[in-house]
Amino acid sequence: MRFMMFMMPNIPVEGEWMPTAEAMAEMTKYNETLTKAGVLLDLDGLHPQHEGARVEFSKGKSSVIDGPFTEAKEMIGGYWLIQAKSKEEAVEWAKRCPADGCMIEVRQVFEMDEFPPDVQAVAK
């Protein structure tokens, strides 16, 4: 099974997030722990939200809003994709992250064989 771990750093919306060398070292060590445990599949960091944009769809039209957006707590800063045998295991890995003051959301990734055959047939 695979799980996404979304990191929500919970920083001020307009702030520039620049981690201290110490925080970076701790996070690097954590990432190495995931690698050494053979469970890390992928990871990436995202540019701050105020550089991003939102596309909203309504009544057949789309509208674009540039960042920043208001919900700081829910802002995603990055993600890990890990392999785990259960949600509990994924949560245990998330708990080991040096993420003081932050939040990590853990979500299972759909595997192809979870979809019914007709969906699988068209999914590419």
Partner 1 sequence: MTTANTNRVIDAVWRIESPRLIAGLTRMVRDVGLAEELAQDALVAALEQWPEAGVPDNPGAWLMATAKHKAIDQLRRRTTLERKHEELGHRLETQPETMADLDVAMDDDVGDDLLRLMFVACHPVLSIEARVALTLRLLGGLTTQEIARAFLVREPTIAQRIVRAKRTLAEAHVPFELPPAPERAERLSSVLEVIYLVFNEGYSATTGDDWMRPALCEDALRLARILAGLVPNDAEAHGLVALLEIQASRSYARVGPSGEPVLLLEQDRSRWDQVLVRRGLAALARAEELGGALGPYALQAAIAACHGRARTAAHTDWARIAALYDALAQLAPSPVVDLNRAVALSMVFGPAAGLEIVDALVAEPALATYHLLPSVRGDLLAKLGRADEARAEFKRAASLTRNGRERSLLLERAAACASEPTPPGD
* 41 in contact with partner 1 (CB under 8 A): yes
Tell me if 90 sits within 8 A of 97, measured CB to CB: no
Output helix, strand, coil percentages for the chain, rounded to the nearest 5: 30, 30, 35
Closer to partner 1 by Cβ: residue 41 or 72: 41
Q: Judging by beta carbons within 10 Å of its beta carbon (0-12, 13-18, 19+), is residue 83 exposed, middle or buried?
A: middle
Stretch that binds partner 1, among 30-38, 52-60, 65-73, 97-105 (CB under 8 A): 30-38
User: 88 with 20: CB under 8 angstroms?
Assistant: no
Contact positions with partner 1 (CB under 8 A) in 98-117: 111-113, 117
Binds partner 1 (CB under 8 A): choice among 12, 17, 42, 54: 42
Establish if 120 lies at the interface with partner 1 (CB under 8 A).
yes
The verdict on 35 binding partner 1 (CB under 8 A) reads: yes
Q: What are phi and psi of 70, to 5 degrees?
A: -85, -25
When the beta carbons of 73 and 87 are compared against partner 1, the nearer one is: 87
Query: Using CA atoms, how far apart are residues 86 and 84, in angstroms rounded to an integer?
Result: 6
In the complex, least distance from residue 85 CB atom to partner 1, rounded to whole angstroms:
6
Give the residues lining the site for partner 1 (CB under 8 A): 35-39, 41-42, 81, 83-86, 88-89, 91-93, 111-113, 117, 120-121, 124
